[in-house]
């Protein structure tokens, strides 16, 4: 369990945020620039000391300004990984990795060193210096250094922000591997990263927590994250003879392009709001493979568009259509309809 309560004034802005993380996994700290995300990470890491606050990780009090308690950053076992990696340029990769390992209050074993370097694909980089690494390689080394400190909590502050699309695609699978190893707080303003990596999300706005919950529930909430889509868990149900794979989710089934995964394999599905069409009657003889019965739960006009929030079983979906179409179809909460899915994005761990 992680408990955070921080209040700190700045010129023209006051961070006043409190939240609890009840379970392990990846918790995304999401919000626009200037909302207080990095300040919160610095407070949890012990890099800055807030005016008021209390921070507890696994029943260990790291900060309590009411009685003066303050555990120094080096003893918190909550290392932060930043977008610029912050490697020591004069040290080889192996020395960078072992720097945090040797100084940890509970250092990993030599076997763990070998396991983590192998998992992050660092074996071939150990003799290099940071100047000879790509941006993605530097990010992997920074992750390895943090993991070798045997963290009880890993803090990731915009770790992909400085990378181009190719390097991001390189790093994301490694971050997915880390999901079950150690609790993580992942700071980002990218909804794509939230949808792919996060189990839970905390939405910050102007220094305050606007919403918190499972990513599957919060992302489709139109007032919270402005999300143009939905993400939900699914499992591989069947491999069909026509080159498609059937996925089961809490709301029905989806047919997708063939996936090289065993029956029962768990994965994530993302449906963009622009990839869902709506029909009041079940369409027939169309090219789309997926037509899902759904119920309108909310209609939110947005300029000439309308966001239509849908319940498909227990799964939340969002469709974005023109306001003219929403009016013509007379869509209101409770309307029964069919969601026609044009395209499906699959995240394969």
The three-state (H, E, C) secondary structure of 285-324, written as one string: CCCCCEEEEEEEEEEEEECCEEEEEEEECCEEEEEEEEHH
Q: What is the pLDDT of residues 235-246, one digit of tens each?
A: 999 999 899 999
Other beta carbons within 10 Å of 182: 17
The average pLDDT across 133-150 equals 86
Most distant pair of Cα atoms in the chain: their distance: 70
Average pLDDT of the chain to the nearest whole number: 89
114 and 140, same domain (yes or no): yes
Token pair for 170? 């390189």
Residue 180: C-alpha distances to residues 11, 16, 25, 29 (Å): 39, 30, 6, 18
What does the pLDDT average to over 154-162?
87
Q: What is the tens place of the pLDDT at every residue in 53-63?
A: 999 999 999 99
Q: Is residue 18 part of a domain?
A: yes
Helix (H, G, I), strand (E, B) or coil at 64: strand
Q: Are strands 208-214 and 200-205 parallel, antiparallel or unpaired?
A: antiparallel
78 domain-assigned: yes
Domain count, the chain: 2
Question: 188 and 337 share a domain?
Answer: no
Same domain, 204 and 254: no
189 plus 97 within the same structural domain:
yes
- pLDDT, one tens digit per residue, over 35-71 is 899 999 999 999 999 999 999 999 999 999 999 999 9
Euclidean distance between CA atoms 57 and 188, whole angstroms: 21
Domain presence at residue 224: no
At 25, give phi and psi (nearest 5°).
Answer: 125, -165
Dihedral angle of Cα 115, 141, 75, 186, to the nearest 10 degrees: -100
Please give the structure tokens belonging to residue 99: 């720097």
Q: Are residues 187 and 307 located together in one domain of the fold?
A: no
User: 3-class DSSP state for residue 110?
Assistant: helix
Q: How far apart are CA 61 and CA 176, in angstroms?
A: 29
Residue 272 sits in the same domain as residue 153? no
CA 165 to chain centre: 17
Same domain, 238 and 150: no
Same domain (yes/no): 9, 112: yes
Asked if 251 and 201 sit in the same domain, the reply is no
Domain assignment of residue 111, given as a range: 2-218
pLDDT for residue 349:
62
CATH code, domain carrying 324: 2.40.50.100
Closest by CA position to 141, among listed 86, 185, 90: 86
Quick one: pLDDT at residue 181?
A: 80
Do 17 and 204 contact (CB within 8 A), yes or no? yes
Other C-beta atoms closer than 10 Å to the C-beta of 11 total 5
**β partners of residue 205:** 208
325 and 203 within one domain: no
End-to-end CA distance of the chain: 25
13: in domain: yes
CA distance 289 to 256: 8
Residue at a domain's end among 218, 248, 268: 218
Q: What angle do CA 289, 294, 295 make, to 5 degrees?
A: 160
DSSP code of residue 209: E
Query: Tell me, what DSSP letter sits at residue 243?
Result: S
The reply to whether 174 and 32 lie within a common domain is yes
CATH number for the domain spanning 136: value is 3.40.50.300
Domain for residue 252, yes or no?
Answer: yes
Q: Is residue 111 part of a domain?
A: yes
CB 80 within 8 A of CB 38: no
Residue that finishes a domain, picked among 218, 237, 268: 218
**18: β partners:** 5
In which element (H, E) is residue 215 found?
Answer: helix 215-218
Give 9's pLDDT tier (boundaries 50, 70, 90): very high
- Check whether residue 193 and residue 142 sit in a common domain: yes
> Residue 223 falls within a domain, yes or no?
no
Residue 155: per-residue pLDDT: 94
Does the pLDDT of residue 224 top 70, yes or no? no
100 in a structural domain: yes
Identify the domain boundary among 218, 246, 275. Answer: 218
């Amino acid at each position: 369990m992680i408990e955070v309560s921080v209040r700190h004034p700045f010129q023209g802005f006051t961070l006043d945020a409190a939240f609890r993380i009840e379970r392990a996994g990846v918790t995304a700290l999401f919000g626009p620039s200037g909302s207080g995300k990095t300040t919160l990470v610095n407070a949890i890491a012990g890099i800055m000391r807030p005016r008021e606050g209390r921070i507890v990780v696994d029943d260990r009090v790291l900060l309590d300004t009411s009685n003066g308690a303050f555990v120094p950053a080096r003893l918190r076992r909550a290392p932060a990984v930043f977008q610029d990696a912050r490697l020591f340029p004069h040290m080889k990769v192996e020395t960078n990795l072992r720097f945090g390992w040797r100084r940890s209050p509970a250092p990993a074993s030599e076997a763990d060193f070998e396991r983590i370097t192998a998992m992050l694909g660092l074996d071939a980089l150990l003799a290099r210096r940071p100047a000879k690494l790509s941006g993605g390689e530097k990010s992997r080394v920074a992750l390895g250094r943090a993991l070798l400190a045997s963290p009880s909590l890993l803090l990731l502050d915009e770790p992909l922000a400085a990378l181009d699309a190719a390097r991001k695609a390189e790093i994301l699978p490694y971050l997915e591997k880390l999901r079950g190893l150690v609790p993580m707080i992942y700071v980002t303003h990218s909804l794509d990263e939230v949808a792919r990596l996060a189990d839970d999300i905390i939405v910050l706005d102007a220094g305050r927590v606007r919403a918190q919950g499972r990513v599957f529930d919060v992302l489709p909430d139109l007032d919270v994250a402005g999300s143009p889509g939905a993400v939900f868990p699914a499992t591989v149900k069947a491999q069909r003879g026509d080159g498609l794979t059937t996925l089961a989710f809490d709301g029905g089934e989806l047919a997708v392009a063939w996936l090289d995964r065993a029956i029962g394999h768990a994965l994530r599905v993302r449906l963009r709001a622009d990839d869902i069409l709506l029909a009041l009657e079940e369409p027939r003889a169309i090219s789309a493979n997926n037509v899902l019965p759904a119920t309108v739960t909310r209609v939110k006009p947005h300029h000439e568009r309308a966001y239509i929030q849908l319940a498909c079983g227990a799964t939340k979906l969002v469709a974005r259509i023109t306001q003219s179409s929403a009016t013509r179809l007379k869509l209101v909460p409770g309307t029964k309809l069919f969601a026609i899915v044009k395209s499906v994005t699959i995240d394969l761990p």
